[in-house]
Structure 1
């Protein structure tokens, strides 16, 4: 064990397709990796990380919880996507360092594994019915037994019945082709306004989706009371919530079944582990959100390995965001992410267990990215939720 682990250097790598990686090096030569990113705000998060360097350099990397408290509380203004994502990447890297120093995987430091493998799912397109079947077949060939797709494209505040009927077509195709052998989650993606949710559920309920995700935006979570009373489909939300304080009222109100904090947005391993424990007390499951890179995915899996209420894990291998630069392109040991019969096996390497190919990272940094959310507009020219 390294007694001190003094933080000496912090480096950032903005790489395609839309990621930001963080490298923390200690004086003892131990390296930790993190992934602090808000999609479309990489430079802003990078600036936040740089601002917090003053609280990190010269500190012991062992003091993960004290550093977390300083980064969150010493700045006076708290929470939100930028700050919490910056903290998340730093926190991931510190857990990586501690695990490597002690020669154990991070989940061992969280109390040990509660399972031997983790159930996985991957995203397929839902905006275009023409590609749904082929993408689902490709994912099943790759070892997945569960997928998630967007339930809708752009939606009016109150849409025509013809648009509502289209929503069920994708999942109907999958049920006709695969029956119940493929689990299908449906992501409303916050695109649907409250007045449309129940009509959409009426169309989708016969096809027994695994869950409906973000049926309304998180700022409208009070509407979940009506939605939960209307359907038996499990309700998932939480990718745009950033701390245990954001989740507190959601859990207390009791209208959600699955929470989806993101390991790169919700304060990292330290905070998501606390959120998961809170959720367990309310009999709510956790399925961490993860459309991001390998460090974020590895961090999420350590939460899954250690939390009894984790049920399924998202990953971004091969999704459309990653064209030209995929998750495994930056990984020197891609075998840890192998999908076998729908699961990833328990990690065995110390720290986060993912070995970053730094040469590939430095080459990709020369390309960089300026990724931003698409801007959708409705037929009348008004803005649509993406």
Structure 2
């Protein structure tokens, strides 16, 4: 089964651009994958066009060897753009190989270790009583793991003011109230989207009673393991880190020094299923459970479900909180993953990823230039988006 073409599609869908990749083969079997480098999709398309030049004609069955060739086949190896391109192609190859052998992708990854995938839900409302009410409603619906955000998202068209000290004061106040309203049995976390400093993170955690949070996600940027080491020694809240990482080498210092408690791997950014399986194994050596990042299209969700089914060390999978009207998705995707009444995801038994794309529908889709909101402090200086 040889690769005959690789087609990237970057287009606006719902509330964001998505970057899908189709790998075609000489026996008529094809596979779909997705890149997760939001806001820089055209850079990924360019990288895919480079990879395409030497992948056509190669066996689609040799997924591991193709991964190594893509990663090591240039002088400047790695990096987020290349890793995102490799991820999309790698996922598509797994989809095609699963169809070729007539088995679900999880079977290619070692087999199924669970029958359904536990997921967590997110409230993106600003801090206040409405957020508390939404979290309580989610609990009443049966959700057991809940997450909040900073509540400040911007629109990507203009700069948005973000004052960290004001934010942590509000967040600590309302998260304390959230814990009181939810009770002790619900898992509660917050994603700070790397908008804080070490000092601000420590102050934030000190403002809440111990046990308020079950996890704190990405409080600071990931470039400095030493900074997380300092943070780790001074707070008692479990950390969830990794959605920015592009390889096992990025994860390695955080795993070896046990700087995180949950591995926020993104299969569409960290090298696809091939690399994500190695990252899970690396985390398993330090008893770190995986908590995959899943904010993209149903292709990302489908790939993440198979990944979660095949690994032993799973906490929960993120369920995208931003979908809203799913009619656009239903025009593009068939057999997309759906939550059960018990708020879990069933593991599909169809060959490959178990999802397909209406390629004809993609022809009329257009890419829209979009930028993440520019966050700035009251003095005008920029901070992390």
Q: Which runs of 5+ in 1 are unaligned?
A: none
Q: Secondary structure at the match of 2:121?
A: strand
Q: Secondary structure at the match of 2:233?
A: helix
Alpha-carbon separation, structure 1, partners of 2:247 and 2:64? 15
> 1:95: which partner in 2?
94
Is this contact kept in 1: 2:19–2:35, CA < 8 A? yes
Report the aligned-residue RMSD.
2.3
Q: Secondary structure at the match of 1:35?
A: strand
> 2:334: which partner in 1?
332
Q: Residues 81 and 101 of structure 1: is their aligned pair in 2 closer, same or farther, counting only changes over 3 Å?
A: same
Is this contact kept in 1: 2:116–2:309, CA < 8 A? yes
Alpha-carbon separation, structure 2, partners of 1:196 and 1:155? 13
Is this contact kept in 1: 2:175–2:212, CA < 8 A? no
Is this contact kept in 2: 1:123–1:319, CA < 8 A? no
Q: Secondary structure at the match of 2:56?
A: coil
Is residue 186 of structure 2 the alignment partner of residue 187 of structure 1? Answer: no
Aligned length: 374
Q: Which runs of 5+ in 2 are unaligned?
A: 153-160
Q: Secondary structure at the match of 1:337?
A: coil
> 1:216: which partner in 2?
220
Alpha-carbon separation, structure 2, partners of 1:186 and 1:68? 34
> 2:158: which partner in 1?
none
1:9 to 1, 5, 11: 5
TM-score (norm 2): 0.90
Alpha-carbon separation, structure 2, partners of 1:179 and 1:72? 47
Q: Residues 76 and 325 of structure 1: is their aligned pair in 2 closer, same or farther, counting only changes over 3 Å?
A: farther
Is this contact kept in 1: 2:168–2:204, CA < 8 A? yes
> 2:85: which partner in 1?
86
> 2:147: which partner in 1?
148
Alpha-carbon separation, structure 2, partners of 1:151 and 1:256? 20
> 2:156: which partner in 1?
none
Superposed CA deviations along residues 242-263 of structure 1, whole A, max 9, x for unmatched, are 1111111111112211111211
> 2:299: which partner in 1?
295
Report the more deviating stretch, 240-249 or 131-140. 131-140
Alpha-carbon separation, structure 2, partners of 1:134 and 1:326? 29
Is residue 284 of structure 2 the alignment partner of residue 283 of structure 1? Answer: no
Alpha-carbon separation, structure 2, partners of 1:287 and 1:163? 25
Is residue 73 of structure 2 the alignment partner of residue 74 of structure 1? Answer: yes
TM-score (norm 1): 0.90
> 1:168: which partner in 2?
172
Alpha-carbon separation, structure 1, partners of 2:38 and 2:293? 13
Q: Secondary structure at the match of 1:270?
A: helix
Alpha-carbon separation, structure 2, partners of 1:25 and 1:56? 11
